Amino acid sequence: MSAPSTTPRPAASNSVWPRLEPLLPQVTKPIQYVGGELGAVVKDWDAAVVRWALMYPDAYEVGLPNQGVQILYEVLNELPDVLAERTYAVWPDLETLMRAHGVPQFTVDAHRSVRDFDVFGVSFSTELGYTNLLTAIDLAGIPMLAADRTDADPVIVAGGHAAFNPEPIADFVDAAVLGDGEEAVLEITAIVREWKAEGSPGGRDELLLRLARTESVYVPRFYDVDYLPDGRIQRVVPNRPDVPFRVHKRTTMDLDAWPYPKKPLVPLAETVHERYAVEIFRGCTRGCRFCQAGMITRPVRERSITTVGQMVKEGLEFSGFHEVGLLSLSSADHSEIGDMCSGLAEQYAGTNVSLSLPSTRVDAFNIDLAQELSRNGRRTGLTFAPEGGSERIRKVINKMVSKEDLIRTVVTAYTNGWRQVKLYFMCGLPTETDSDVLEIADMAHEVIRAGRAATGSKDIRCTVSIGGFVPKPHTPFQWASMATPEVIDNRLKLLKQAINSDRSLGRAIGFRYHDGEPSLIEGLLSRGDRRVGAVIRKVWENGGRFDGWSEHFSYQRWVEAANEVLPTFGVDLDWYTTREREELEVLPWDHLDSGLDKDWLWQDWQDSLSEYEQDDCRWTPCFDCGVCPSMDTEIQIGPTGRKLLPLTPVNGMKVPTGAQQ
Amino acid sequence: MGGPPDAASGWGDTQAAAPEELTIARKPQPEGGQAPVVQRVRIRYAKRGPLRFTSHRDFARAFERALRRAGVPIAFSQGFTPHPKISYASAAPTGVASEAEYLEIGLREEVDPGELRAALDAALSPGLDVLEAVVAAGGSLADRIEASRWRIELPEVDPKVLQGTVSAFLAATEVPVERMTKQGRRSFDARAAVMSIDVVSTAETPYGDAGVPCAILELVVRQVTPSVRPDDVLSGLRAVADLEPPVSPRVIRLAQGTLTAQGAIVDPLEADRDGASIGER
């Protein structure tokens, strides 16, 4: 061990740490910029051939737990000649100091300047991170516009769900990848490696061309967008002979072959999730029409019960976490979820490990699973997500649950000892009227009334939580019009009054909601085209940062920027948000292939309007959404019939490995 | 709308119903009890380099995870949400490095303190280093913490200027300073608790660029209420002689312990150490 010193870890040769360190005592929560997490990797810069900087464009406390970034970080760093480091959005207090002292956007691992990397990968789970991307590019000293970049700049690649329509950020990113990242990053790495080994022939342009030729990396600069006189898109076509007309999403098929994260990052700073998270399956075919994640991640691919068991065991041993999250879009739908939950509960009985299972299902089975998982005494909350207040609107969105089912299920939860449940709904859905939303109050009242009758206790509560609906690309609602913030806010006001119209019942009901304004801006960004890029830039120039945070988001700033920029193109904010699209309109993302057949999506949209429900193809015949044949994929579900065996208790202390080299 | 955790990953996530993270304790109390404490071990640890920005709360979470990683047979408190038996002695402020932080843990099985030290050290991030583990011989660890020795590095400060400032500080009988606390802005004396304060001469500037001066202060400060921290002493130096370090000072706690009449600090584990394993120093 070294002699007393304040700097025992030698800074990497190209580290900005000596310049950053004196700034840290002046900012809030400096630990978030320090790195040194368990599971973090610092490699020799010169020994690496391909170097990735990975960003989650939000604050460290939100970005660090992100599964996507953790998986890619680990997959890339497992390659001997590849180095991957992480960077997150810096808070405005540090941004100001960095500008004053000329400190560039840095990675937290070895505090290297982001501009020094070959590839700068940014994972967007929400469009509200776009302004943070611009901050990072600017702080890094990289030219803001992709067109202005040189061979000295990294290739900026967008990924994540928002990358299924990267057009609003097409001016700022060099490329976008649709779909699962594990294999995509390896393919990109191989292309960069080969291009560098050849002496970087043709410079940046040639590299981007090679990426585009894979047909799974979208390079916006190789596509021209033509517009009709009325502002709609006429066509999007390649401007180079050898790039594909359409770019296809990536699908990682065998999740058992990709059991990541194996070495989860364990932060010193407090983050939004402190747990070992394991995806138990990817994809969802329930067909909720509002849910972009469910549409773009098809087909369903389960991770087997035994792989999940192994990952939980090793993940806990490595990390020292005492919470496990079994994640997916609808975890109760895993074909072996019952055995998985009882097996894990058995394995960790008598320990302080707690298990949680986010599920949106509204049925008693969900409660059985929650019972199983709470055997250790700690009991997670229960959330049920009917999503829509009325039977009619639930048919529109294809969330098949009846009011009777919901009340029966919640009452079962109360009689099993839960005293609080959360009910999740959306507001602003297509065809929605005030009365659809007001039925939420009836439902909540009945839940409390029935719960009191069944338990004989007044000590039961429910929380009604409302999210704003945002139509997303590659969903049946991609053509839908959005309700204005005024309509949304009025409906929420009426709902609140209705909930409190009965004082006794109202007291037992919590009410949480988001107001309509941020949803409208999210709607602009999610269905925007390249012209929206100028709005994003204007907002950023006017100080827009951290738009996912209510205390930083300014609706006014977005409206003003939209009003300034969009009329020059003959369109406006309403045109992007409250306007319903027609069947034949060319949508900005039509050249990006999620596997879903556009005709099927349109039919599903029509079915929605006629309140016709669509079954889940996991258990019913294929309904031809198009994904499996066009992507050459298939549904992969169990049961495997295997069980989780009891763990052999290990006594005595051990010297763990895996801390940073 | 709101900050974390609700707006954690932006509003976009709200469309796939947000998983509930609430943990609610069940009404019935747990049956049976936790295994009793059969051994208490006192530990000295360091916060070094970049990890000096670890707050005490951050360290406490990391330490609990390290106990699990290392398989330490820690004892738990009774009750429905049992807590591991860990007690901390005056933690250094966030941003201050330390070679002398102390804590005590209660164990449900006896362990070899040397093995415990090695296992815990490996389970923590480098920079959070477990230096020593000694079986407690009795008495209270907190009672043995009377004073700390600190070193403050002041890059770009001329040692001669600093010497003058220190003399002015020493000449004063009282140096009132202010600091924001959880209770709001408080005013207190930074002088009386300071037992000694010296400008240390070094042959070379240990940090920063060659040719840039770096003055170094060493001081011994008594544990008082409200506590007088190194930044309070720096505030005092500013108050008496307008010392304004151009660069953020770097502070390290070198020792904590009981104070002798001569002003020396005695290792608080000294009394426990009789024959017990002494870890790597």
More confident residue, B83 or A521: A521
Residue B260 sits in a domain whose CATH number is 3.30.70
Contact call for B248 and A162, based on CB within 8 A: no
Tell whether B235 is covered by a domain.
Answer: yes
Q: pLDDT-derived band of residue A601, with 50, 70 and 90 as boundaries?
A: very high
Contact call for B54 and A268, based on CB within 8 A: yes
Q: What is the mean pLDDT of chain B?
A: 84
Residue B106 sits in a domain whose CATH number is 3.30.70.580
Q: Over the stretch B230-268, which tens digit does the pLDDT of each residue have?
A: 999 999 999 998 888 888 899 999 999 999 988 899 999
Window from B13-22, B148-157, B270-279 with minimum mean pLDDT: B13-22
Would you state the structure tokens that stand for residue A529, as one six-digit string?
A: 């085209």
Which of A26, A31, A32, A379 to mutate to probe the B interface, most B CBs <10 Å? A31
Same domain, B100 and B163: no
- Give the nearest chain B residue to A661 (CA atoms): B126
- A389/A179 Cα distance (integer angstroms): 32
Nearest to B15 among A7, A359, A467 (CB): A467
**Residue pointed to by tokens 């005590």:** B104
Out of A181-185, B19-23, B90-94, give the one with best mean pLDDT: A181-185
DSSP letters, A483-533, are PPHHHHHHHHHHHHHHHTTSHHHHHTEEEEE--HHHHHHHHHHHS--GGGH
Same domain, B138 and B149: no
Same domain, B50 and B67: yes
List the end-to-end C-alpha distance of chain B, in Å, as a whole number.
51
Same domain, B217 and B163: yes
In terms of Cα–Cα distance, which of A250, A252, A249, A346 is closest to A305? A346
**Residue pointed to by tokens 């057949």:** A597
At B209 the pLDDT is 55
In terms of Cα–Cα distance, which of A74, A123, A84, A97 is closest to A28? A97
Q: Which burial class, exposed, middle or buried, applies to B115 when counting CB atoms under 10 A from its CB (0-12, 13-18, 19+)?
A: middle
Nearest to B99 among A4, A359, A465 (CB): A4
Nearest to A266 among B24, B65, B128 (CB): B65
Cβ-Cβ contacts under 8 Å, A379 against chain B:
23-26
- A539/A530 Cα distance (integer angstroms): 15
At B138 the pLDDT is 86
Tell whether B280 is covered by a domain.
Answer: no
Tell whether B150 is covered by a domain.
Answer: yes
* pLDDT exceeds 90 at position B95: yes
- A9/A598 Cα distance (integer angstroms): 55
Residue type, A13: S
What is the pTM for the complete model shown?
0.92
Contact call for B118 and A655, based on CB within 8 A: yes
At B25 the pLDDT is 37
Compute the residue count for chain B. Answer: 281
Rounded to 5°, the CA angle A270-A272-A275 comes to 85
Sheet hosting strand A509-513, strand order edge to edge? A382-387, A420-427, A461-468, A509-513
Same domain, B93 and B112: yes
The CATH number for A275-379+609-661, chosen from 3.40.50.2300, 3.90.1150.180, 3.30.750.210, 1.10.286.10, is 3.30.750.210
Number of other residues whose CB lies within 10 A of the CB of residue A42: 20
Question: HSE-up of B224 (CA within 13 Å, CB side)?
Answer: 16
Report, as an integer, the average pLDDT of A245-264: 97
Same domain, B130 and B219: no
Domain count, chain B: 2
Q: Over the stretch A115-173, which tens digit does the pLDDT of each residue have?
A: 999 999 999 999 999 999 999 999 999 999 999 999 999 999 999 999 999 999 999 99
Which of A359, A521, A655, A661 to mutate to probe the B interface, most B CBs <10 Å? A655
CATH topology of A17-246 equal to that of A275-379+609-661?
no
In terms of Cα–Cα distance, which of A118, A117, A87 is closest to A20? A87
Ramachandran angles phi, psi of A250, nearest 5° = -100, 145
Domain range annotation of chain A = 17-246, 275-379+609-661
At A595 the pLDDT is 96
Cβ-Cβ contacts under 8 Å, A553 against chain B:
1
**Residue pointed to by tokens 């011989």:** B137
* pLDDT exceeds 80 at position B29: no
At B7 the pLDDT is 34
Window from A124-128, A202-206, A486-490, A617-621 with minimum mean pLDDT: A617-621
In chain A, the percentage of residues whose pLDDT exceeds 70 is 97
Same domain, B150 and B132: no
More confident residue, B112 or B279: B112
Distance from CA of B4 to the nearest CA of A (A): 7
Contact call for A379 and B94, based on CB within 8 A: no
- Give the nearest chain B residue to A9 (CA atoms): B49
Report, as an integer, the average pLDDT of A560-586: 98
Number of other residues whose CB lies within 10 A of the CB of residue B213: 15
Report, as an integer, the average pLDDT of A301-311: 97
- B49/B96 Cα distance (integer angstroms): 9
**Residue pointed to by tokens 């040189």:** A150
- Give the nearest chain A residue to B131 (CA atoms): A1
Distance from CA of B281 to the nearest CA of A (A): 7
Would you state the structure tokens that stand for residue A231, as one six-digit string?
A: 């502002």
Which domain range does residue B234 map to? Answer: 145-265
Distance from CA of B34 to the nearest CA of A (A): 11
Q: How far is CA A307 from CA A69, A357, A647, A657, in A?
A: 21, 17, 14, 22
Ramachandran angles phi, psi of A424, nearest 5° = -110, 130
Q: pLDDT-derived band of residue B206, with 50, 70 and 90 as boundaries?
A: low
Same domain, B163 and B248: yes
At B5 the pLDDT is 35
At A358 the pLDDT is 80
* pLDDT exceeds 80 at position B225: yes
Q: pLDDT-derived band of residue A488, with 50, 70 and 90 as boundaries?
A: very high
At A499 the pLDDT is 97
At A12 the pLDDT is 67
Nearest to B16 among A25, A127, A291 (CB): A291
Q: With contact defined as beta carbons under 8 Å apart, do B105 and B40 qualify?
A: yes
Distance from CA of B176 to the nearest CA of A (A): 23
* pLDDT exceeds 90 at position B105: yes
Burial of A289-322, coded b for 16+ CB within 10 Å and e otherwise, reads bbbbbbbbbbbbbbbbbbbbbbbbeebbbbbbbb
Q: Over the stretch B107-160, which tens digit does the pLDDT of each residue have?
A: 999 999 999 999 999 999 999 999 999 999 988 999 999 999 999 999 889 888
Distance from CA of A387 to the nearest CA of B (A): 8
* pLDDT exceeds 60 at position A651: yes
Element (H, E) at A226: strand A223-227
List the end-to-end C-alpha distance of chain A, in Å, as a whole number.
14
Distance from CA of A496 to the nearest CA of B (A): 16
Complex ipTM > 0.85:
yes
Tell whether B275 is covered by a domain.
Answer: no
In chain B, the percentage of residues whose pLDDT exceeds 90 is 62
Would you state the structure tokens that stand for residue A303, as one six-digit string?
A: 């991770």
Same domain, B155 and B139: no
Homologous superfamily of the A17-246 domain (CATH): Cobalamin-binding domain (3.40.50.280)
Which of A61, A107, A653 to mutate to probe the B interface, most B CBs <10 Å? A653
Would you state the structure tokens that stand for residue A512, as one six-digit string?
A: 């949480």
Interacting residues of A621 by C-beta distance below 8 A, sequence separation 6+: none
At B4 the pLDDT is 36
Please report the beta strands in A573-636, taking only residues with DSSP state E, as ranges in sequence order. Answer: 592-593
Q: Over the stretch A441-480, which tens digit does the pLDDT of each residue have?
A: 999 999 999 999 999 999 999 999 999 999 999 999 999 9
